[in-house]
Chains A and B, each alone.
Chain A
Amino acid sequence: MEFKTKYKEEIENLNGELATINFGPTHPATHGIFQNILQVNGEKIVSSEQTLGYIHRAFEKLAERRPYNQITPITDRLNYCSSPINNMGWHMTVEKLIQAEIPKKVDYMRIIIMELARIADHLICNSVVGVDTGALTGFTYLFQEREKIYELYEEVCGARLTTNIGRIGGFERDFSPEFHRKLKSFLIEFPKTFDQFDQLLSRNRIFMDRTKGVGPISAERAVDYGFVGPNLRAAGIDYDVRVMNPYASYQDFDFDIPVGVQGDTYDRFMVRQEEIRQSLRIIHQAYNNLPEGSYKADIPEFYLPPKEEVYHQMEALIYHFKIVMGETEVPVGEVYHAVEGGNGELGYYLISDGGRTPYRLQFRRPCFIYYQAYPEMITGQTLSDAVLTLSSLNVIAGELDA
């Protein structure tokens, strides 16, 4: 409670009457549907209470009735700014349970897509921080680039926002020539636009004055509140699942983990900026060293066979029937798998009793856990700082409510 004591005197010295303000649930500045009931004294926030659950869709319950391959579309709708990471995290969880051997090429393809998704996620967050400080220009530039990332998703899976990308065991098809062409041009064009955005805000006096010291959190409190991902790293702790528990061959790559010092809005912004550069580095490495091999693992009982084989071969017909009817046998087991999502450690806790659906599936949604710290972070700050803190935390309603 160090922040409360820090600002206690300041709050007590304010003599005005307290006013109650509903910040949300449907307010443009919340960037999602969640409510904060703020008690304000003039412009200073005295206390706040959060209400959530406005878009709760009972995903954990739904998952208990769906076959494994039908759970992927549910994961899309958690953090919908970087749905490929959620999809692939789920695929890797199931692969861990069935102990499938995944070809190196699949790992590298996944890394390219996941890092593109991380860039898209951070682009939205950072450009929206810009918008909330009043700098709308950068947002319009970066949305053009995000559009190109969505086109890349489209080349791989046909969808843009809720991607349902890949399959358990790999991808449904290899990267198309058009994907290669678009990725190459993205890797050349994107850094130019991104540098322009960086020049617009990173060392901008007005932007720095507006964001430095806004919504800070110390490293100790951040760990207490379960912070992960860029928000934790902005507070100065270099915890990253990609390095701590490497998955999908992240150990093959050379990249840096940026950390901040103050844990304030400016540090969160800068950490995300640097992570975008590091993601580009990873994509370059993965794309230049893309191994030869198959784009899918050899697990016929989970991976839908090609349609021609279904008509002419008995095994393919059997597997096709079993997968479509959702009668695939899964070993009994219990796994936890974590990936580094756009907001940090995104975990899947899966219990299988051998049935056609999970016995229990729990998502570790980073937003849900660290959003608890929000009242402590904004107490004693001004109302407009609360807006900025919220957008720099990148709280995504879909991930918050599940």
Chain B
Amino acid sequence: MRKYLLKRFLLMFPTLLGVAALIFFIMRVVPGDIVELRMMGDRGSVSAESVALERTRFGLDQPLWRQFVTWLWGVVRLDFGTSMWTGAPIFEEIKLRFALSFQVAIMSTVVAVVLAIPLGVLAALKQDTWIDYAVRIFSTAGLATPSFWLGIVFILALLIIFKWLPPMVYTPFWVNPWQNMAQLIWPALTVGYRYSAVATRMTRSAMLEVLREDYIRTARAKGLVEKLILVRHALKNAMLPVLTVVGLEFAFLLGGLVVTEQVFNLNGLGLLFVQAVQHRDYTLVQALVMIVAGFFIIVNFCMDMIYAWIDPRIRYR
């Protein structure tokens, strides 16, 4: 197992390097120049000499490979530099937004798990009955409904029926938990619904898989109480694929909430992403991509570790 895990660990680095190269390349190829954008503002024209001056200040006149190496060297030391648009250190820019996105991600996961596991188990136990169909329709609807549309409908409903709007400005949880929840519960529900759909389906199918095993069938014939105990047992075995799926979806959540954040006006990483790309803020975009991709890769690695621990084929290699 150790060799397996070491191999997976080492493979993280080429992937990260690949991501770094890709985003660096993409940002340089996309048309639009941050210096011009910044200096043009809302009005439209700017002189060539001031542009050239600024570009040297940002080091944009250096050969590409040198820019890449300088930046990469910084990343290795976890120094992401300063945002080209504001001049503030990237860490500052991201701090607040990361906290918000992370909280929404966690809350969505909680919503998803709380919905998915009971529903999935229920659907598996009552397979092919109307309960099963109802759960399948409910979860498939969760997959099918565009989350931004759901968000719009949510806000509209709140406005028209309750005449209430969620708070506009983010307050951290430890400052004012009530405000914080009032703002973030809605996007968490919207995202969590879709998230739960994936998890429900997986729970259901994993449970079905496990319940089919021979020893469960014999046990079923024995009686109610034993059946309940065996269901609990089945659940434990079914949890592995469910956990995998929940983990993988969670990894996508951090940078993947762009549209939700727009609808609910959350000042999160997704919105920062969009703004940074619009500004052609190379350093910020690159840093964000590295963070999001790094997060994804690390979560995947954790999943690998858990899998390796549980799956005897890998554990005793």
A and B found bound together:
no
